[in-house]
């Protein structure tokens, strides 16, 4: 019984560590794969259009979904006011520029932690952002949770 209880506690802790307010790592990487496939098959403009297609999962996702051309954000499901912003010039709340962390995460298949404002409450929040190159060195898809 005691071993079962300890296993249940460890499982709950692992699950909590892998999730956030907005979604899980598996959900984030699935969205990246779906958006990347659209961009690879039909081009960047199709990816931008797909972001707001109600038949696709992007516009309704609680996670922040971002498409960049170079470091310029060209599509965003949660903060459209950031469209055309260069993330090479945008600092997160630590004062560091965001793009180096985002690009490094895409290059080595890791997650970038970005300090930004919570989408709903506008309080300071730590986002775990997963990213991958839809077109290597040119178009990057990032999902933050």
Eight-state DSSP code of residue 23: -
**Is pLDDT above 90 for 122?**
no
At 18, is the pLDDT very low, low, confident or very high (cuts 50, 70, 90)? Answer: very low
Q: Per-residue pLDDT tens for 34-92?
A: 999 999 999 999 999 999 999 999 999 999 999 999 999 999 998 888 899 999 998 88
Domains of the chain: 22-144 (3.30.450.20)
Q: What is the CA radius of gyration of the chain?
A: 16
Name the residue with tokens 């999730």: 19
At 15, is the pLDDT very low, low, confident or very high (cuts 50, 70, 90)? Answer: very low
The residues, ordered by sequence, that sit 6+ positions from 119 with a Cβ below 8 Å of its Cβ are 22, 62, 64, 78, 79
Distance of CA 73 to the CA centre of its chain: 12
């Amino acid at each position: 019984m005691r071993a079962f209880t300890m296993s249940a506690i460890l499982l709950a802790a692992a699950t909590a560590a892998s999730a956030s307010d907005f979604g899980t790592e598996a959900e984030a990487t699935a969205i990246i794969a779906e958006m990347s496939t659209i961009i690879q098959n039909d081009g960047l403009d199709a990816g931008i259009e797909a972001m707001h297609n109600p038949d696709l999962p992007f516009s309704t996702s609680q996670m922040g979904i971002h498409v960049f051309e170079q470091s310029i954000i060209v599509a965003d499901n949660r903060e459209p006011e950031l469209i055309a912003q260069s993330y090479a010039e945008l600092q997160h709340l630590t004062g560091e520029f965001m793009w180096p962390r985002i690009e490094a995460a895409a290059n080595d298949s890791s997650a970038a932690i970005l300090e930004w404002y919570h989408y709903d409450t506008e309080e300071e929040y730590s986002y775990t952002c997963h990213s991958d190159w839809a077109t290597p060195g040119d178009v990057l898809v990032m999902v933050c949770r």
